[in-house]
Structure 1
Amino acid sequence: MRPVIPYVTAAVLFGLGVYGVLRRRNAVLVLMAVELMLNAVNLILVTADTTVRAQLPHSGQVFALFVIVLAAAEIGVGLAIVLQLYRLRASVAVDEVPLTEPPAPVPATTTGGRLSTGPADADRPEGTK
């Protein structure tokens, strides 16, 4: 078998996965695109294993099994994150996810009619400024 066909197929699958990650707005579809890229890597690993079997026996198949386990763990964690995102935001659109938290407001306390800004005011006596 000529190894060019699986390599080209894997390149097309990986390209479709990259396109899906970059262009999709739905988090579930982004996870599916990542899975497509991992399957393309599996195809490359198995094809390389069959073409260079004399040097390293079955190493590509072992790496492919590790990638499958990694993909299963990624789907479990990814879907848990997506479900939590849907519970909080009622949407799974990736564009609507804030990447940083808004700054928390600093609580201001009043002491004797004036605004206290921190520990420096606590050291002064009550009648001085």
Structure 2
Amino acid sequence: MTSPEALHAALVARLRTIASLQVFEFQVPDKPAADGQGRVYPYAIVWPGAGTPGAESSITGAAGERWAATVNVAAGDPAWVLPATRLVRATLSMVELAPGVTLTEVPLGAVITKDPDTTPLRWFLPTQWAALTP
């Protein structure tokens, strides 16, 4: 079994291959990079899960432990969120994080939402990812 820590590190490493995207773990710094108008450049923030033991996965039908992570994509301009989300999806979808551990997106049906708790203002779109570890 691959540890949740190793899967998290592999996911973050994959996201960091996107040159136009800031990647944070667990929290966003007080002042993420922004343009001259104060709009925060696109970023992804990753929150990993600890894994869930289970008999059979609804994703593959095989036995193992299900691991999941949330990746929120955010930016200071709502028009920047969708292109950044496409980059995240292209980078993470069906990637092998470890031998025999393939990542897949869990459909959420989420929409871009204004974050009322951030200054400067930001919009975000949550995505959920899961993998079955052997």
TM over 0.5, yes or no?
A: no
Q: TM-score, normalised by structure 2?
A: 0.28
More helix by share: 1
Higher Rg of the two aligned structures: 1
Q: TM-score, normalised by structure 1?
A: 0.29
Q: Whose relative contact order is higher, 1 or 2, with alpha carbons under 8 Å and at least 6 apart? A: 2
